[in-house]
Amino acid sequence: MVAIHPLGATLKQAPPLQLHLDGGAVADPALQAADARLGGVKPRGVALRAGPHRIGPIPKPVVRLPRVSEFSNLPFSKYQGLGNDFLLLDARTAADPEQAFGLTSERVVQLCDRRFGVGADGVILALPSQAGGELRMRIFNADGSEPGMCGNGIRCLARFLADVDGDGPGRIWQIDTLAGRIVPELLPDGTVRVDMGAPFLEPQQVPTTLPVGDAGLPQGELDLDGERFAVAAAGMGNPHVVIPVPAVVEIDLERFGPLFEHHPAFPARTNVHFVQVLSPDHLLMRVWERGAGPTLACGTGACATLVAMHSLGLCERRARLDLPGGPLQIHWDESSGRVVMDGPAEHVFDGVIPDPEAVALSRRQAAAATPIGEPAAVLAPSGPEPGPEIDCATVCTQGCIRPERCPSAEARARVEALLRGTSLDDLVSIATNSLESRTRARFDKGPGFNL
């Protein structure tokens, strides 16, 4: 059962994971194809030659890796908002933004898998605007589907943009989404305020087959697995069903979440929110997200929940909503009819995933170089037995005195392979855009700014 954030408690966020190159941590040889060219995407100081798994000491390369220009790597940043986590990809400057990362539904599913991928609730793309805004956002759920909006996701996108571009408090973005123009703002404490726009309360806008009830929004009663629930629905660019209950901790979310999500009353499926009233300005909720299952938070869901609960006469227009990942402050402004959300968004780590073709080729080359059943480490090289150690820097000043078995040949070959496989621009990028410098830059923002 999902743990419920207790009344009045403050969740302590884990510190973001920092990956440092000077510690000598890189992926195994098969995953070292990730590195230099970012396919036209602006780098974020990622000098990490790593995949998402099997981090260990630097190994000796078995074969020369293919030139990075032959493949497309996937640089990403991971952010979380109240435990709702996303992989952020910057394609604002890509020559072909929609194809910059070669995302398909299948690849999104693999990336979001918490055992066989990076692990996330979704993937977010920052793209050039097509509707007059500053940029455009696309988001994909963990199952590969594409919702219209995500409140926690757009907060994470805003914080990501601020970190990439070096923006400080007061920065406002005009972001186009499938749900329309959304306007986040970076606040002085590092949290993000988002103008989520007006809710959709007509059944066809949600969409739902529930009729508009006395509360002025779609509502009714639904039977699920022998249980009967009074529900209300609202849209925030994606569909939500809100179910008031006496105690959210007693709800079997794994049982009822998918039944609500796929109920015929919601032709496009729906996000599901069970809500308990603690006081008129304090609600407690649990979330089952469409396409993702149980999550620690849902920003659009918190907005829809406040709208529905206020319409039903169960809370005020401004309230704190406690989710399993922490609290959000939601305000449904009476004069404008727009919903405003305040909440955190935090950087977790950066990384680069090599192109699958590069990984497969590297493994094929390594397998071809090593006989089946015989580890590469025990293969005896041909040629004469090694003689006594020599100091190449001293003895070989006029040329190699042992060319048939030069003790420094392997090291020189590795350097040559690196230079052949990496452009000058990429070498400069590796040298200058380290995670260490990004960490120092964050601290340079000054005291009081939420890191």
Determine, yes or no, domain membership for 121.
yes
Residue 278, in any domain of the structure? yes
How many structural domains comprise the chain?
A: 2
Q: Determine which one of 156, 298, 303, 315 is catalytic.
A: 298
Residues 77 and 225 in one domain: no
| 298 given a catalytic annotation | yes
In a domain, 50, yes or no: yes
Within this chain, do residues 182 and 223 fall inside the same structural domain, yes or no? no
What's the CA angle centered on 156, arms 77 and 428, to 5 degrees? 30
183, part of any domain: yes
> What pLDDT tens digit does each residue of the chain (451 aa) get?
333 333 333 333 334 433 333 333 333 333 333 333 333 333 343 333 333 333 333 333 333 333 333 346 889 999 999 999 999 999 999 888 888 888 899 999 999 999 999 999 999 999 999 889 999 999 999 999 999 899 999 999 999 999 999 999 999 999 999 999 999 999 999 999 999 999 999 999 999 999 999 999 999 999 999 999 999 999 999 999 999 999 999 999 999 999 999 999 999 999 999 999 999 999 999 999 999 999 999 999 999 999 999 999 999 999 999 999 999 999 999 999 999 999 999 999 999 988 778 788 888 888 887 665 555 454 444 445 555 666 666 667 667 777 777 767 776 676 677 667 666 666 656 655 555 555 565 566 555 544 4
pLDDT tens, residue by residue, 275-302:
999 999 999 999 999 999 999 999 999 9
- State which of 337, 365, 381 marks the end of a domain: 337
Q: Are residues 115 and 193 in the same domain?
A: yes
25 & 80 share domain: yes
Task: Say if residues 277 and 265 touch (Cβ distance below 8 Å).
Answer: no
219 and 324 share one domain: yes
Domain boundary among 287, 321, 353: 353
Rounded to a whole number, what is the largest CA-CA distance in the chain? 95
Task: Compute the distance between CA of residue 280 and CA of residue 309 in angstroms, rounded to an integer.
Answer: 10
Q: Where are the strands (E) in 12-170, listed by range?
A: 74-81, 84-90, 122-127, 135-141
Helices 299-311 and 151-165: crossing angle in degrees, nearest 10, is 140
Last residue of a domain, one of 353, 384, 404: 353
Decide if 446 is inside a domain: no
Whether 55 and 185 map to the same domain: the answer is yes
CATH number, domain with residue 219: 3.10.310.10
Are 28 and 128 found together in one domain? Answer: yes
Note down the domain range covering 34. Answer: 21-197+347-353
State if pTM tops 0.85.
no
Asked if 269 and 223 sit in the same domain, the reply is yes
The reply to whether 450 falls in a domain is no
Asked whether residue 445 is domain-assigned, the answer is no
Does 367 fall in a domain?
Answer: no
**392 part of the active site:** no
Point out the catalytic residue in the list 150, 156, 303, 315.
150
- 280 burial via Cβ count (<10 Å: 0-12, 13-18, 19+): middle
126 and 167 share one domain:
yes
> Is residue 172 domain-shared with residue 153, that is, in the same domain?
yes
pLDDT at 386: 52
Positive/negative CA dihedral, 422, 86, 196, 290:
positive
